[in-house]
Amino acid sequence: MIGEQYTRHNYIGLKSTDIVIQMNIQIEVPGDPYAAVSIEMNLESTFPENLSDEVGQRLRNGVHGGLSLSGFALLRDSIVVRILELSVSPSPQNFQELNDRVKLGYLLEVTVSGVVESLLRNMQHLSTGEESYHECELPPEESSDDSSFS
């Protein structure tokens, strides 16, 4: 099974200007008989050399965080996560100060984690036929007594 999600996130007030992160993530569960996680991405064209290693590590942390949150990590299947597209505005070259790089890394990590978690949960529900919101129960309706509104 292959699932893909394109997303755009606007983060307001974290820098002198808003930060916009756009990404396209594809997840493939090839059905191999062993458990493995493969992460594929190409950051050289998006991030300057001095940031690509740091950003790459944050993205990998985000993928593993999303796997853990989704519960998929408990299954016995292999998975391939591909970050097909990633763009940041303003340009990553503007994140030269340590504090700005840490904020950008954190934003990328939590954004990837959320996308991976959401996409995997949806793929799991599709593959099992399980309804996504089966855990949500509405509280029982209380009988209304019109006399309390006098």
Length of the chain: 150
- Bigger pLDDT: 30 or 132? 30
pTM for the model stands at 0.76
Q: Which amino acid is at 33?
A: P
pLDDT tens-digit map of 51-71: 788 888 999 999 999 988 887
Rounded CA-CA distance 81/3 in Å is 10
Residue 100: closest CA among 88, 112, 116, 111: 88
Q: Which residues of 15-45 are buried (b: 16+ CB within 10 A; e: fewer)?
A: beeebebebebbbbbeeeeeeeeebebebee
Which residues have a Cβ under 8 Å from the Cβ of 51 and sit 6 or more positions away? Answer: 92, 95, 101
pLDDT band at 139 (very low <50, low <70, confident <90, very high): low
Kindly list the structural domains of the chain, giving each domain's residue range(s) and its CATH number in brackets, ordered by start.
Answer: 2-128 (3.30.230.10)
The predicted-structure confidence for 92-110, as pLDDT tens digits, reads as follows: 777 777 777 788 889 999 9
What gap in Å lies between CA 106 and CA 9, rounded to an integer?
13
Distances (CA, A) of 51 to 95, 109, 141: 9, 14, 54
